[in-house]
């Protein structure tokens, strides 16, 4: 509150600058390439991604049996020994410099999509068993390897987002040192 006869100082307009942004003020986008990446989530799990990874022979056998097109594999090694929540490696998104998102899903989802509905019971059960194997999570105090599948990995990567426990709780993966 102002006393009678006193006035508040006049507000000063913000200083105007005419300097153009420089390389010191404009961040340069980080350009990454396929290789090893790491992440750590808020619940204590850590992971190492191989982008791309090696094809999984069991999944490849079922893919060929279903007559599906070749796919790209990502492999993820999760160490949840310090974690407090199970990790199921729901998905990984790789972003291109143009902003395109390439989505890689857990192998159990892929195997389920491959499974032919009209397959004989013996073949059908092979898909179910392998899908169930890839559905298992890395429980707290556990270490587990995961396989994800999706499109061809781009030569230039602008960013990688990992969804270790579903669509919430995503974290960025960074190049391994």
pLDDT of residue 25 exceeding 90: no
- The sheet with strand 159-163 has its strands ordered as 171-172, 159-163, 91-95, 101-106, 143-150, 72-79, 46-51, 35-40, 174-175
Cα distance between residue 49 and residue 147, in whole Å: 10
| pLDDT average, residue stretch 101-129 | 94
Is-contact 80 141, C-beta < 8 A?
Answer: yes
Please tell me the pTM assigned to this model: 0.81
| Class of the domain covering 35-175 | mainly beta
> Which pLDDT score, from 0 to 100, does residue 166 have?
79
| pLDDT average, residue stretch 63-92 | 96
Outline where the chain has alpha helix (H): 57-66, 107-114, 121-135
Domain residue extents for the chain: 35-175
> Which pLDDT score, from 0 to 100, does residue 16 have?
44
> Which pLDDT score, from 0 to 100, does residue 37 have?
98
> Which pLDDT score, from 0 to 100, does residue 84 have?
94
> Could you give the percent of the chain with pLDDT greater than 70?
84
Cα distance between residue 5 and residue 11, in whole Å: 18
Cα distance between residue 159 and residue 119, in whole Å: 40
pLDDT of residue 13 exceeding 80: no
Beta bridge partners of 105: 91, 149
Exposed / middle / buried, residue 53 (Cβ in 10 Å: 0-12, 13-18, 19+): buried
> Which pLDDT score, from 0 to 100, does residue 105 have?
96
> Which pLDDT score, from 0 to 100, does residue 55 have?
97
Is-contact 92 162, C-beta < 8 A?
Answer: yes
In this structure, what DSSP letter does residue 100 have? -
């Amino acid at each position: 509150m102002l006393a009678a006869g006193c006035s508040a100082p006049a507000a000063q307009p913000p200083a105007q600058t005419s300097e153009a942004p420089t390389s010191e003020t404009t961040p340069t986008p980080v350009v990454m390439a396929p290789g090893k990446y790491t992440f750590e989530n808020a619940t204590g799990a850590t992971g190492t991604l191989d982008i791309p990874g090696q094809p999984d022979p069991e999944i490849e056998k079922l893919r060929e049996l279903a007559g599906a097109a070749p796919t790209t594999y990502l492999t993820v090694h999760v160490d949840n020994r310090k974690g407090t929540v199970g990790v199921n490696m729901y998905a990984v998104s790789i972003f291109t410099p143009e902003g395109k998102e390439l989505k890689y899903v857990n192998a159990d989802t892929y195997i389920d999509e491959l499974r032919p509905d009209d397959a004989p019971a013996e073949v059908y059960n092979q898909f179910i068993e392998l899908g169930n194997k890839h559905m298992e999570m890395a429980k707290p105090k556990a270490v587990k390897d995961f396989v994800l599948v999706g499109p061809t990995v781009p030569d230039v990567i602008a960013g990688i987002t990992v969804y270790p426990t579903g669509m919430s709780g995503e974290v960025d993966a960074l190049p391994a040192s």
